[in-house]
Every structure is written in C-alpha cells, then in structure tokens.
Amino acid sequence: MTAVPGVAVVLPGEDGALPGMADPWLLDPVAAEVLARVSAVLGRDVAAWWRDPRALVDEEAADLAVVATGVAAYASLAARGLRPVAIAGYGVGEYGALVAAGALELEQVVELVLWRADLMALAPRPSCAGLAAVIGPGAAAVARTAVSRSEGPGELVVACIDSPVRVVLAGDREELARARWTVLGAGLDMVRLPRRAACHGPLARPVADHLARALAELDWSAPDVPVVPNADPVPTRDPARLARCLDAQLTTPIRWEETSRALVAAGAAGVVEVGAAPLLGPLVRQVHPDLPVHLATGPASPLAAALPLAPACRPALAGTAPDRGES
C-alpha cells in the first residue's frame, strides 16, 4: 500500500458539526465500523441523530459528531495508506485526534466527551459570558490591549490564538462589550461566537475541576502518530505529556497559530482537514499561505479517492458521497 508522505491531519472542534457530516463516510466499511462502535456505546444510530439540524444545537450531539466523524474518517484514510507526520485537533477535536493517533480508546472517549458536554452547564451561560473573535492584522496585540484594559482580573482573557489575523477573547458580557470598543478603535473587527461557552480561560475552571477526575481515569498508550496538543503545541508521543495537556485544555488558550507552525516544522508539506467544511485549513493558510490544504469530506473526496484502497476495505455499497471540494 502506498503511503502519502509529508502530510499532517487536523480535526475541527464543535464549530465543525454540520447535519449529515457522517453520512458520506458510511459508504466506507472502515469508517462505518467506527461509527457503529459509537452507536453501540450510545445505544442509538448516531448518523441518524446527527442528520437533524435541531439535534446539533445540543452540545452533546455536536461534540460527539465532530469527534466520532473525525476518528472514522481518519481510520478510513489510514486504511488507504495515509501516514501523517503529525495530527492535531481543535478544542474538543483534540479528543478525536488522540483516539485517531492511538493514544486513547474510542469507547472511553465517547463517554468522556458526553460527560464534558454535560459539564459545560457549569460554565457561565452564553447570555452572560462567551467568546468573541478579533479579526484583522495584529489581532494578538489588539486583543492583549483589550485584556489589559479589563476592569476585573481574569474576567477577560485570550482564549484562542488562531492565526496572525484571528484571536479569540473569552469573558463576561460586559467585558466583551468594552473590548469591542478597543478593537474597533484599532480598526479591526470583533465578532461574537454564538452559543459558545467561555472556555480556555478561568471562567471554565468549574468545568475543568469536575472533569479532572474522569481524565485521571483514562487509559493512555503511546500514540502511533505524534499529536500536537492545544495547550502546548509541540508534537509528542509521550502519554504523560498528552494527559497533562488535555487536563489543562479548558483553562488555557488554544495556540493554533503555533500548531500550524509546529506541523510544518514536523515535516508536513501539506495538511488534510477532516470535516464537512473548511474551518482549520483557512487558519493554517493564514500562517503558511503556500501550504497545500485538502478537505476530506468523505471517501469520494479528491484526496481520499486518490489513495489506494486494499481489496478487503473496498466499500460494499455503490454510489458516491457528496463532495464539498477543497479549502
């Protein structure tokens, strides 16, 4: 089986949850088997569950959809010969990356992602606090200025450093409103992220404290592929370090710009985003404008179709999956 050299794989977070996102992968027996395992854990047909747009408003459904579909898609691509130099997931997508790489077992992560979603009720409600993206050149400097002008310590923090032109703030409603004036005054834009809890900062501490016990009970293995954690974006196969980073994820910033640089430093000459729509690929390109980025939406996507498939893994169903192109 021919391997595809010099490629990194990225898995989106909850923003990547779209109705029917798992359906194209049901045409692939390897991916379908992964989804069947998730259905067995939950006692319901997850692909049918995730076809309903109303279901994906619920954090449990959205988080599980991106995690499970990411794992299923990666298994399909790996069966075709994809051997990435590293893998990374954004936010809850990091759980999928850890399963795909072989650091954690699928079944225990399905239960953990459900519990994590339930615990989000302990965070301030989105009507009281949330996330807002600062967009434009020099976003990080402007975001830091807004934080420095915050009236309460820890009430406004940098939650995600996505790229040179996108940084996400987390804070309560009043602090975000004040930050908006700083951002607009600097000539940049600021956009609230709807229905998103104020994660990756101190406002998520109650969630992280309750989740810590479940994280401590995970059974870790050395992954087959280096994983780049959100909290400390250096590729690693050390289970202890991966565990520490996952424990810190909810209360420390997602450093995705550094992740994009780390993937290239690890030898990636291209990036494959597994998802229903391009979310991470554009962020990677904001760091590396000339880096090829491919979107794998199903087994009929250009990259997946180009990979050789072992006879035992050929789909039993006829037809092609819908393709939303490349980012």
Q: What is the CATH number of the domain that holds 156?
A: 3.30.70.250
Strands of the chain (E only): list them: 7-11, 86-89, 129-135, 156-163, 166-172, 189-193, 270-274, 293-296
In this prediction, residue 318 carries a pLDDT of 26
Number of compact structural domains in the chain: 2
Confidence at 153, pLDDT banded by 50, 70, 90? low
- Same domain? 113 vs 54: yes
94 falls within a domain: yes
First-to-final CA distance of the chain = 27
78 falls within a domain: yes
Domain boundary among 197, 219, 243: 197
- Same domain? 169 vs 49: no
In this prediction, residue 155 carries a pLDDT of 83
192 falls within a domain: yes
Choice between 60 and 154, residue whose per-residue pLDDT is larger: 60
138 falls within a domain: yes
- Same domain? 15 vs 112: yes
Burial code (b: 16+ CB inside 10 Å, e: under 16) for 257-289 equals bbbbbbbbebebebbbbbbbbbbbbebbbbbbe
Residue 307 pLDDT more than 80?
no
In this prediction, residue 69 carries a pLDDT of 98
In this prediction, residue 196 carries a pLDDT of 85
Choice between 153 and 302, residue whose per-residue pLDDT is larger: 302
- Same domain? 108 vs 255: yes
- Same domain? 106 vs 209: yes
In this prediction, residue 125 carries a pLDDT of 83
Residue 185 sits in which domain range? 129-197
Residue 73: CB atoms within 10 A of its CB come to 32
- Same domain? 147 vs 290: no
In this prediction, residue 5 carries a pLDDT of 60
Residue 110 pLDDT more than 50?
yes
**Closest by Cα among 19, 10, 4, 101 to 327:** 10
In this prediction, residue 108 carries a pLDDT of 96
Confidence at 325, pLDDT banded by 50, 70, 90? very low
Phi, then psi, of 221 in degrees rounded to 5: -135, 160
- Same domain? 78 vs 107: yes
- Same domain? 49 vs 184: no
325 falls within a domain: no
55 falls within a domain: yes
Q: Give the model confidence (pLDDT) of 204-263 as tens digits.
A: 999 999 999 999 999 999 999 999 999 999 999 999 999 999 999 999 999 999 999 999
- Same domain? 14 vs 157: no
Residue 67 pLDDT more than 60?
yes
321 falls within a domain: no
Q: Please state the pTM of the whole predicted model.
A: 0.90
Confidence at 313, pLDDT banded by 50, 70, 90? very low
Burial code (b: 16+ CB inside 10 Å, e: under 16) for 135-171 equals bbeebbebbeebbeebeeeebbbbbbbbbbbbbbbbb
- Same domain? 108 vs 18: yes
Place of tokens 């040179």: 164
Domain boundary among 197, 213, 245: 197
- Same domain? 176 vs 28: no
75 falls within a domain: yes
In this prediction, residue 151 carries a pLDDT of 77
- CATH number at 95 reads 3.40.366.10
Residue 286 pLDDT more than 70?
yes
- Same domain? 33 vs 156: no
Domain boundary among 145, 173, 197: 197
56: Cα within 13 Å, side-chain hemisphere: 20
